Structure 1
Amino acid sequence: MAAFPAPTFAAAQGACLGVGLGLLIATDVVFVADTAKIGSPFAALGALLDSGGHALFTERLGPHKTLDLIYTGRLMTGEEAVALGLFSRVFPAAKVQDAATEAARTAAVGPTAAFLASKMIVTRLRDEPLNLWDPMAAEAVAQTQLSGTEDYRQGFAAFRQKRSPVFHGR
């Protein structure tokens, strides 16, 4: 999921554990229900968090909170997971799926080449030790490439004309 070459979205309503949790953490944008239960209860099984969960939890929560959740097996609510930075936004359970679907639809008609370039830069920041100048150079290259696209021209024309852009992924 983390390497998928397009923006990814997910919604979670119930228990988010095990491989399901690993998939959620690897997704770009995750909306969770306020009543969701999220965590790593593997200590009770003598097992451990898998599916890349150690790296992804640590990236978002830091080592102390990650190990607290692993050692205790405590489950968080959706509200707590969002407050800690594990996921994007929290919604009432009855609205979370619609919210994620709408966000995905909005992205699908947006400047998809720009979104993919941003995803690649963020992924590189996560995966490689970089200084401030490396991402800035990657941003400059991507911006130059995007400036030749129809979506880029459409976005700037719409801005100047004070209207909503219509993107086509080109």
Structure 2
Amino acid sequence: MISPDWCRMMAAYNAEMNRRTIAAADGLDDAARRSDRGAFWGSLHGTLSHLLWGDTQWMSRFDGGAKPPVGQKDSARMVEDWAALKAARVATDARIGAWADGLTAGRLAAPVIWFSGQSGREVSMPLWIAVTHFFNHQTHHRGQAHALITAAGATTEDTDLPWVVDLAALGLTP
């Protein structure tokens, strides 16, 4: 099972990697961000919008807050404006960080229950399993975004967790 410290570390990593990804994407013009490059969600903008959608969907299950305003099939177009997407990303990362800061081992072991519109049924699993998927989903789509950014000719900063996250600031070093 994962720990609250692991969740705090991953929330910090997620926020910093999103900052780095957005900064790299800012170096591209809007046409390059919206160009369909054959990725699952089409463009870089669509991929980042879907990632925001997924984070919002999972957080609604974890903290009971707002759900995304659209379903998964429309997630690549959930936020069309680039400035609005960037602002929503920062706000969502703050939401994730605040939630992770309040986690306990007991809460991670307890079930999370939600109705899945995609599967048409109620789903229940230990929170730690859903949280592991949540952070894995982020890494998966940021990997796609990284490939789209480099294909468009831009570069990103380092992505290696031990050098991205200030582990000492999180109290995670001996």
Q: Which has the higher helix share?
A: 2
Larger Rg: 1
Q: Which has the higher strand share?
A: 1
Structure number with greater CO (CA < 8 Å, separation at least 6) is: 2
